[in-house]
Structure 1
């Protein structure tokens, strides 16, 4: 099986958690896109749900597959968000934002009663940080903000470049909310909670890609099938089982 097959298997497993009448947060990224496609097929068969997209690309995809949409203004409390991740650690802490949608993804996840992460097994890591940490910042003063991010990371013993994300044409990436993205190449992040707090305290940082305490369940697909990793109370390890 290919990575694409594993992503689809994880997305299919998430569908089992969708009930009629649910208000859903629809994530962004390649695995979340497969979930939206599969959800559209269920809607065509008669499933009644409504979704809040976390990006304009997801909104366009949902419209293409016939998934009814709403907004957080109309439905400020959601039942379930299904989204992918760039990294997942054993405690269900995540790095997200590779698709530059981290701000809207976090807002939607926070507005949801539950969050399910869907991913292939390659996204599971013992410690976060191999994937560069996305940090969404306002364009005004972004160089000053970048330097402040570097200083905050250094105080926690983290090194590595903090770079402005650019598109293939070398122009800075602009998010759906009109912000810029910094990518922190920190390597191993041993104290993600402390880094999250330090980044949130920097003026100019809109949001960071550390999703801590938001995911309730991860559905991870690999060669041995789909494994469910359930969040546990603080101080205990997440529980694994076969999905």
Structure 2
């Protein structure tokens, strides 16, 4: 049993790495400012970015989306900047918890959704890198940990009740694993996770309605933001996916 789990993990990590390399090679250019996302897949992307910068003597600047991303930038000795110095980015490379067939995303499983969405919104191009388990037909098909929503601590309970009453499903306060109490985001907020009864919502409309609730800081629904997604497959190949409206624009 242990042997088979090891094989599965190795395959998954290989898929993350090959997707990251493919995406970075396709989009990274010298003299650019890029957003660095968060999560396990991004480790491989930053590793590849550092390799290309060193080999080609490229000049880039990096804006982190989290404390983890900032540490990665430092680890690989990449130039660090922020949105105050660079309010418009050329590129943002990030991961996702789930991606549907129109490149709508669920993000925030790692708790960095607010800064991730801010940085992504400032980028001309958002590129997603992920392994094959994150690729779904519709949101909620495979990812069963709920839709993350960052909220102001004082009103988490009223928001939980409003979401359950207005939209159904169940909502829970995300609790920390290595300390007593709830998870605290990099911005000092709480995260609630919404487990939806019907995964086939109009996500754009729903996202807007959630954001109109006083006390909701941001949602983990990234709608119409990603330009392209790269999924590493078990056989070592990479699936590249674009939004349906991009196909229509090209037709």
Q: TM-score normalized by structure 1?
A: 0.91
- The answer to whether the Cα contact below 8 Å between 2:32 and 2:90 also exists between their aligned partners in 1 is yes
Aligned mate of 2:213, from 182, 202, 212: 202
Rounded to whole Å, the distance in 1 between the matches of 2:77 and 2:52 is 10
Give the corresponding residue for 2:47: 37
Which consecutive residues of structure 1, in runs of 5 or more, have no partner in the other structure? none
Does residue 74 (structure 1) correspond to residue 85 (structure 2)? The answer is yes
Q: Which runs of 4+ in 1 moved over 4 A?
A: 234-239
- Counting only pairs closer than 5 Å after superposition, residues 1-243 of structure 1 correspond to structure 2 as 2-16=11-25, 17-45=27-55, 46-129=57-140, 130-131=143-144, 132-154=146-168, 159=169, 161-168=170-177, 169-191=179-201, 192-224=203-235, 225-233=237-245
- Offset, 1:64: 0.8
Aligned residues: 234
- Offset, 1:151: 2.2
- Offset, 1:61: 1.3
Which deviations, in whole Å up to 9, do the C-alpha atoms of 1:98-156 show, x marking residues without a partner? 010000000111100000000111101111123310000011121112112222322xx
Which consecutive residues of structure 2, in runs of 5 or more, have no partner in the other structure? 1-9
- Offset, 1:238: 11
Rounded to whole Å, the distance in 1 between the matches of 2:188 and 2:96 is 22
Rounded to whole Å, the distance in 2 between the matches of 1:187 and 1:218 is 27
Rounded to whole Å, the distance in 1 between the matches of 2:49 and 2:90 is 15
Rounded to whole Å, the distance in 2 between the matches of 1:238 and 1:146 is 42
- The answer to whether the Cα contact below 8 Å between 1:27 and 1:33 also exists between their aligned partners in 2 is no
Structure with a larger share of its residues in helix: 2
C-alpha RMSD over aligned residues: 2.0
Q: Counterpart of 1:233 in 2: which secondary structure?
A: helix
C-alpha spacing 1:21/1:56, structure 2 compared with 1 (3 Å): same
- The answer to whether the Cα contact below 8 Å between 2:107 and 2:221 also exists between their aligned partners in 1 is yes
- The answer to whether the Cα contact below 8 Å between 1:128 and 1:188 also exists between their aligned partners in 2 is no
